[in-house]
Structure 1
Amino acid sequence: MLVVPAGSYATTVRSTDDAGYSVDVAYTLAIDAPVILVDPATLPDGDVGTAYSAALSASGGAAPYSYSLLSGVLPVGMSFSSAGQFSGTPRSDGSFSLTVRATDANGNTGTQAYSFSIAAPTLAITPATLPAGTTNIAYSQALASSGGIAPYSYSLVSGSLPVGISFTSAGVFAGTPTTAGSYTTTVRSTDDAGYSVDNVYTFAIDAPTISIDPETLDAAVVGDAYTVVLAANGGAAPYAFALESGALPPGIGLDGAGGFNGTPGASGTFNFSVRATDSNGNSGTRAYTLRVDPRTLVLAPASLAAATAGTAYTATFSASGGIAPYSYALGSGALPAGLALADGV
């Protein structure tokens, strides 16, 4: 088929009869270009990080049609095919204006101007808050991001972390905190297209309250075996006990399991502190006062029988309440002539 370009063509046609007579007629031939329409009239808006797709179609000419971008720039990450297909995942936001040309099989064309918007992504970091940690206990918390284009990278913008805790570019808090306190830090998550969001975290590191029981110690007595076992709670068993400060009565010891054991050898008041340390290294202390009372000795008999001059006399003493063996001596005064005290007799 002959394809004639659109335009206005002037021509004169002559008709001649059989006898040779003729006539001329002038003609003007108008060749109109087809009106090629491109649909749709508008393009949908999109979002950064969300797949975009829109197909064009043309009418009014001779199929098939091919398409091309006549002017304007597409968002980063999007493409336009000769089949009239917009596709891709936008990586930049903004308002975009462009003109598309449709060409039919005969080379006739039509254009359509478009304006559409790509919205910036709304990034979010989860969790919104961090769980509290405990001193000397391993801590790990991973962050996750959404709303943008993966992968995401993370960084600390401001603030500080607890001693012993680190933060990776993969968004993981990890380590073993050693110091209790409240820490505030700002984390930034950046997606693959360069969009970012900040989140402020308050990081609480708690120290367990380790208490020691009993609150007070029973009094001891010089020479009597003494045993008291301490117990700790509030941390992670088992606990180890040690003398923190002060001194124990002579003859009394404290073992690692929290047991006071021994036989005090001196009376008095003894002040000291005990520390209990749990299996994670957390500890607590308690101050104690241990009173060691002297023994109360009893001497028998309470009185002596009367003696007769010139007659043999014997009286035997015995003692109790102390630590055997006992020794005896004259404390004061004088014995009658002829009497003596030896070995309690």
Structure 2
Amino acid sequence: MITKFATLSSRLAVLLTFVFAVVACGGGGGGSGGGFLGKPDEEGVELAITTAELPEASDGAAYTALVEATGGQEPYSWVILDDGGAGFDINEEGFITGQAPQEGEYGVTIQVTDNANTTAKLSTILSVSADTTESLAVISTALPSAQNGIQYTALVEASGGEQPYSWDILNDGGTSLSINDEGFLSGTGPATGEYGVTLQVSDALDATDVASFIFTSVGDAIQPLSIATATLPNAEEGKAYTAILQAAGGQGDYMWMMSDSGGSGLQLRDDGILSGNAPDEGQYALTVEVQDDTRTVSEILLLTVAADSSPLTITSSSLPGGTVKVSYAAVLNASGGEEPYTWRLVSGGGQSGLSLSTGGILSGTPTIPGTFGVTFEVSDRTSKDQTALILTVAAEAGAEEPLQITTGSLPDASRVLYAAAVEAKGGIKPYTWTGGDTSDPGTGFDVTLSTGSITGNTNNLLPGQYGYTVTVRDSAGDVDTRAYVITVPGGDQAPIKILTETLPDAVDSLTYTTILRAVGGTDQSPDWSVLETVKEDGTIYANGPTFGPTPNTGILFWSAQDIIAGNYTLTIEVTDGKSSDVKDFSLTAVTAPFRITTTNPLPSATVGIDYTNTMTSTGGGTTTKWSVVSTVTEVEGTPIPNGPSFAAPGDDSTGELFWAASDIVAGRYRVTIEASSIDNGVTSIDQKTLDLQAD
């Protein structure tokens, strides 16, 4: 039964303190006392739970909290009588663990029993706040084109999740491209054509996102050298910035340089990688040049830097260890927000014998050995952040107790992602942990060397019991080993279910690809099919999207020539052979926006010979009107009076750019072209500046 309290006035009035502990480096504090340190029996003191309330949890996040007791006869044992539907567990040391439930308030009742079978109870409220973590997502929307047989490099970007990221190519479409963990896609441009490339990004929490791109490789005819990068990705003030500049055409290898950084402080390597720390908020004009075996071209690129939007966050993730009767000092760090910061010690300082200054310096002389949960808070003018860290205080020299693993048993592997903490005490820290399976088949779980945390994935494990042995070694070389049994509970496999909720729009002149996902079932690569595609007038469209020759990939494909603007309903089925799921999706195909598609630079002009070149566009209506906005010299930006135009010798709707032989003067020019098109009464206009050289 879940008990939720709607108002603060209905909370239990419990006037005790609490300590929120995150199990981290070294363990060493298990013991029978239900806290970080074992305690002698307190004869004559009535058994009581000293923890008043539980720290707040975040929806869907891993949760750990410590509940403590005093009095009675040790050792203690703990049990959760009612978790209010939160789904948490508690071990013999009083550590509550689990994954936080949905946002809300949950009534939790906990009981401790001592060696004399005396019990004490705590009823309190667990508050769960909404998870505000941004989901991991690939934010790059397109890949730059490659040239057949020419070295290719592109940067793919992601946001959200927990860095660092790692990248994989799920399907290279036959391009033989590769990608590193920084998202740099590289290789040699394949044969002319379009290729479907599917990329996956993973973060530090094993979250993933998948994106599919159309990768275009053009012919290998030598084109004039040009800078293909038209715009730079935006930067954020004070953050590390990286962008890859692209060139096209020319002969031989490219050599990049920057003649003017515009005050940005960024550096450009000779391979075209622009990097550095982003400057202050604003816009910066960067003049870059690229050189091949025969010529050099330049371009002015605009960099937009946004203000720093990082939230105030405590960045310190651990505390150095201390020793009893030895002076201690550690500096806490934070980032984001608005300086200056103000620090305060929320809990745990008195027990450890340390205090925290407003400047973030934790100092003092520890008086007792042990492992303490210390909670800190930092605040700026508008916000605050809290974190709890583990402080380990060693005994005086010569007072060490024998090394011993204190964790009695491991929790069941009842979720897909398994995590358990093994603790030890005594010896000389720091500890080093190792572990491994003792049954065949095994779990495949790993032990973190520095913390003793056991983690793994239970997706491929059958129900049953698995042997697992953990060994801890201290700095003096002493060793303790303990064998455990990890139980994977039984249960029926959930039927397969389509996870994807919506489909992205299609564009009527571009090949369409997207990936659908499913959960459950028994097959990691189920078969997908489109049962029917229905137009908005109710008729079936025979040339709708399909899952192609490899339906087990989940990649939905729609050829560009079959896409007609309109609204469609797709009925899609997925099956693993034992179960299936059918779902209807709405898919909208939109008309491609009107754009000038003529590539930069224009073909060269020759002095004394009439110049013509036909412009191209995509989207819009059936008739396009063309005009020349301006023609200026490339270096000085000086307008010329008799530049190319569409007015002579013919109709400006043909898109034929003309320059009379008598007006052509040798030099390098920039021609700004404007095109307009009317489609269903709506006028669309596009402009593009193109380089033109006259020899």
TM-score of the two chains, using structure 2 as the length reference: 0.21
Larger Rg: 1
| RCO comparison, higher one (Cα < 8 Å, 6+) | 1
